[in-house]
Structure 1
Amino acid sequence: MKTILFIALFTITGLTHAQTNFEKGMTKAFELWEEGKWDDAENMFERIAKAEEDEWLPNYYIAQMNSLKSWNEKDETVLKAQLEKAQEHLDIAMTKSEEDNAELLVMQAQVYTNWVAYDGATYGMKYAGKVAELYAKAVKLDPTNPRAVFCKADWGMGSAKYFGQDTAPFCKEIEASIELFDTFKPESDFHPNWGKERAEQVLAECK
Structure 2
Amino acid sequence: MKKLILSFALSMFSLTAFAQNQYEKVMTEKIDKIEACKTPEDFNALANDFQRIADKEKGKWQPSYYAAFSHIQKGRVLMRENKMSELDAVADQAQKFVDQAEEADKNNSEIYLLQKMIYSLKMMVNPMERYMTFGTKADETLKKAEQLNPQNPRVTLIKAEDVYFTPEQFGGSKKKGMELFQSALEKFNSFKPKTSLDPNWGKSEAEYFLSLPAEK
Normalising by the smaller structure, the TM-score range is: 0.7 to 0.9
2:117 maps to what in 1?
110
Q: Distance in 1 between matches of 2:213 and 2:139?
A: 21
Structure with bigger RCO (C-alpha 8 Å, 6+ apart): 1
- Provide structure 1 residue ranges, at least 5 long, that are not aligned to the other structure: 1-16
What is the number of residues matched between the two proteins? 189
- Provide structure 2 residue ranges, at least 5 long, that are not aligned to the other structure: 1-16
2:102 maps to what in 1?
94
CA 1:89–1:156 in structure 2 vs 1: closer, same or farther (change >3 Å)?
Answer: same
1:4 maps to what in 2?
none
2:13 maps to what in 1?
none
Q: Distance in 2 between matches of 1:173 and 1:32?
A: 27
Q: CA deviation at 1:89?
A: 0.5
Q: Distance in 2 between matches of 1:42 and 1:151?
A: 21
CA 1:79–1:197 in structure 2 vs 1: closer, same or farther (change >3 Å)?
Answer: same
Q: CA deviation at 1:153?
A: 3.0
2:72 maps to what in 1?
67
Q: CA deviation at 1:57?
A: 0.7
- Is the contact between residue 166 and residue 173 of structure 2 (CA under 8 Å) also seen in structure 1? no
Query: Quick check: which one's helix share is greater?
Result: 2
Is structure 2 residue 143 aligned with structure 1 residue 142? no
- After TM superposition, the runs of 4+ consecutive aligned structure 1 residues lying more than 6 A away are none
1:121-200 pair list within 5 angstroms: 121-159=128-166, 161-163=168-170, 166-200=173-207
2:89 maps to what in 1?
81
The 3-state SS of whatever aligns with 2:154 is helix
Q: CA deviation at 1:141?
A: 1.4
Equivalent pairs: percent with the same residue?
30
**Which one has a bigger Cα radius of gyration?**
2
The two structures have a TM-score, normalised by structure 1, of 0.78
